[in-house]
Structure 1
Amino acid sequence: MLKKRLLGGISAIMALVVLAAAVVIWQTKAFVAMPLSIQSPQLFTVPAGAHYQRVIRQFEAKGWVASSLWAKFAPHLYPELTRVQAGTFQLQPGQTLAQAFTTLRSGQQYQASITFVEGSTFAQWRAQLQSAPHLDHTLEGVSEAVIAEQLGVSRDQLEGLLLPETYTYDVNDTDIDLLQRAVRAMEATLEKAWQHRADDLPIKTPYELLILASIIEKETAVASERENVASVFVNRLRKGMRLQTDPTVIYGMGEQYDGNIRKRDLRTPTPYNTYVINGLPPTPIAMPGKASIMAAAQPAHTDYYYFVATGKGGHQFSTTLAEHNRAVRDYLKVFRNQ
């Protein structure tokens, strides 16, 4: 009789243990399947050496998961939760705890991006970098000449030496590292263009090619026109004519430019005013894109020496001054009617 009672007691205890285990498993599964309490994408940084318990405590501190008894059972039932990688990751609304940990062990860190547009200036790049999120800002108050030295550039001015495009970066990358990538990208682009340049270009160095490309970039945003614009400037250089391009005047005016160019501005000498100086200005006037660089290296073969806006989004190209003057009058008619 006693033996039967003992066996019955053991069976009851075992049943309770099995029931308790089932409850733990069920509750733990429910815990890891619970969506994070976030309403928008959130960045989360896993420090080096961090483990499951530290991550859970941080999630709890942020209010993303509720403090729960079942949290300590999760790594036993799901050992993959213990394998997290250091870095910064983006967690999405609707992700469960298990899915969040999948993200944290994926190694696919969050990357921010910044886009520098063709024709922008180094001053504009600095302003963009200063306001870029998740970037380690190290250049505030640093002169352009010092930045150039840090980049290994042998010039005091960086205008034109950085390739405008979209760059991605990891959280806490530095601004100088990003600029280094832009310098290397421009060097590779310019070297390729120089190697494939037309044989008869009146351009002596890759840097002169870059200067010409920057002028082309500022003169037209119409892709199909770049080679024709390049041909105008190349033809003028061959003939010893001044380039007479307004963007160089604007660049030379600096902060004095208020949106308008007056006749006196065209006559005012600056190192960049191509109505006054012969040949190319001393530096690029903007950051040219790949297309403008290739247009400078391979201009169209034309007899054009002039061009003027049509007022309809493009330009009218002319061979003679008389043709050009007629095109100017046509543009003024369109301009007055707008």
Structure 2
Amino acid sequence: MRLFLNIFFLLALWAGAAAGGLWWWGNQPLSLRTSPLDFRVVAGSSLRSAIVQMQEAGIEVQPSLLSLLARVKRSETGIKAGSYAVKTGVTPLQLLEKLTQGKVTQGDITLVEGWTFRQWRTRLDAHPDLSHETQGLTEAQIIERLGLNVARLEGWLFPDTYLFDKQSSDLELIARAVRSMQRRLDGEWAGRADGLPYKSPFEALIMASIIEKETGREADRALVAAVFVNRLRKGMLLQTDPTVIYGLGDSFDGNLRKYDLLTDTSYNTYTRTGLPPTPIAMPGLASLRAALHPAPSEALYFVARGDGSSEFSQSLDEHNRAVNKYQRRGK
């Protein structure tokens, strides 16, 4: 009996010492290759595979001890995928807490209203926190990988500030922007005003992109929409410079000439009636709403006043007077 008690006592001492040693180790700073150090745990990772990913990133951690610590804390199956950042002084216990509570680090990117897809790609390609899966792909290849039934991505990405796990895919971010635009377009189309001259939501998206490029002041947005909607209804040329500029592509040098307005392209709304074949930029929600809820106005013309606002006219004579006043200064 005494022998049994001695053995039990020794085992208890050993267990206590082991637990104390594990707790001591759990509170010791880990060695890091750099500080701060970023690493990523991919979706579906077990604790064991997460440890391998951390070691490959440059965290010197004992797999058996961290696994045992997680088992003691009953958190070995609670690892959350995502991007993480640790600094000098982080302990195994703190690291485990990050992994089980999903204290991920996030990157962010702002994709601007009125930008073209080419401009968006430039920003995406330059972002250091994204995994650049689309680099080297053509727009058609990106569309194919996204499984979309569209000819171009222009107009189909919703402008917003997007948060994402660091080193996540730029392709997934583009997909999120497409889904966001589709939800908003569907919602606005469902509640659209009566009698609009659009055959489909896509035509409304094209109009919204034109409104986005033509509006200098928020208060004028619905009136700008009214002008273009009224022109469509009457079969008039839209005569909007941004579509011509878009059609010029790389050849546009910042100076729109009379020759450009007279040169026919599929985007030249001075030579062709109706809407251009695709959007010309990424419209924001305000422009979508304006396209589908234009102001109740008979205006057919507008001209910039030079202060960001516009003067709206119902007749060509009124418009010419406004042009003389605000652009030619009476000359």
How far the C-alpha of 1:156 sits from its partner, in A, is 2.1
**Is structure 2 residue 207 aligned with structure 1 residue 209?**
no
Q: Distance in 1 between matches of 2:274 and 2:231?
A: 9
Q: Distance in 1 between matches of 2:50 and 2:192?
A: 61
Match of 1:306 in 2: 301
Q: Distance in 2 between matches of 1:261 and 1:57?
A: 55
Match of 2:217 in 1: 222
Match of 1:327 in 2: 322
1:272 to 245, 264, 267: 267
- Counterparts in 2 of 1:326 and 1:49: CA distance versus 1, 3 Å: same
Q: Deviations over 1:73-110 (max 9, x none)?
A: 99669943974725344335576654333212212433
* 1:134-283 equivalences in 2 (<5 Å): 134-283=129-278
How far the C-alpha of 1:198 sits from its partner, in A, is 1.5
Match of 2:106 in 1: 111
Per mean C-alpha deviation after superposition, the further-off stretch among 311-320 and 287-296 is: 311-320
Match of 2:73 in 1: 80
Name the SS of the counterpart of 1:105 in structure 2: helix
Name the SS of the counterpart of 2:271 in structure 1: coil
Cα contact 1:89–1:103 (8 A) shared by 2? no
The higher radius of gyration belongs to: 1
Give the residue type in structure 1 aligned to 2:133. T
Match of 2:46 in 1: 49
Q: Distance in 2 between matches of 1:77 and 1:148?
A: 43
Per mean C-alpha deviation after superposition, the further-off stretch among 270-279 and 192-201 is: 192-201
Q: Distance in 1 between matches of 2:243 and 2:232?
A: 15
Q: Distance in 2 between matches of 1:160 and 1:322?
A: 35
Per mean C-alpha deviation after superposition, the further-off stretch among 209-218 and 28-37 is: 28-37
Q: Distance in 2 between matches of 1:316 and 1:112?
A: 42
How far the C-alpha of 1:331 sits from its partner, in A, is 2.8
CA root-mean-square deviation: 3.8
Per mean C-alpha deviation after superposition, the further-off stretch among 235-244 and 120-129 is: 120-129
How far the C-alpha of 1:301 sits from its partner, in A, is 0.6
Cα contact 2:158–2:284 (8 A) shared by 1? yes
- Counterparts in 2 of 1:52 and 1:194: CA distance versus 1, 3 Å: closer
* 1:127-138 equivalences in 2 (<5 Å): 127-138=122-133
Per mean C-alpha deviation after superposition, the further-off stretch among 261-270 and 313-322 is: 313-322
- Identical pairs, percent: 47
- Counterparts in 2 of 1:174 and 1:72: CA distance versus 1, 3 Å: closer
Q: Deviations over 1:1-53 (max 9, x none)?
A: xxxxxxxxxxxxx9xxx9xx89x95x987765567788965323347334599
Alignment TM-score, normalising by the size of structure 1: 0.77
Q: Distance in 2 between matches of 1:258 and 1:53?
A: 52
How far the C-alpha of 1:246 sits from its partner, in A, is 0.7
Per mean C-alpha deviation after superposition, the further-off stretch among 33-42 and 103-112 is: 33-42
How far the C-alpha of 1:314 sits from its partner, in A, is 1.8
Match of 2:3 in 1: none
Q: Deviations over 1:260-283 (max 9, x none)?
A: 111111111111111111111111
Cα contact 2:39–2:54 (8 A) shared by 1? no
Q: Distance in 2 between matches of 1:321 and 1:270?
A: 26
Q: Distance in 2 between matches of 1:45 and 1:156?
A: 35
Per mean C-alpha deviation after superposition, the further-off stretch among 305-314 and 91-100 is: 91-100
Give the residue type in structure 2 aligned to 1:85. I
Q: Distance in 1 between matches of 2:166 and 2:319?
A: 53
How far the C-alpha of 1:243 sits from its partner, in A, is 0.8
- Counterparts in 2 of 1:43 and 1:63: CA distance versus 1, 3 Å: closer
Q: Distance in 1 between matches of 2:236 and 2:50?
A: 74
Gaps of 5+ in 1: 1-13
Alignment TM-score, normalising by the size of structure 2: 0.78
Match of 2:85 in 1: 91
Gaps of 5+ in 2: 1-8
Q: Distance in 2 between matches of 1:277 and 1:169?
A: 42
Name the SS of the counterpart of 1:43 in structure 2: strand
Match of 1:5 in 2: none
Give the residue type in structure 2 aligned to 1:101. L
How far the C-alpha of 1:285 sits from its partner, in A, is 0.7
Q: Distance in 1 between matches of 2:53 and 2:199?
A: 63
Give the residue type in structure 1 aligned to 2:73. E
* Aligned residue-pair number: 315
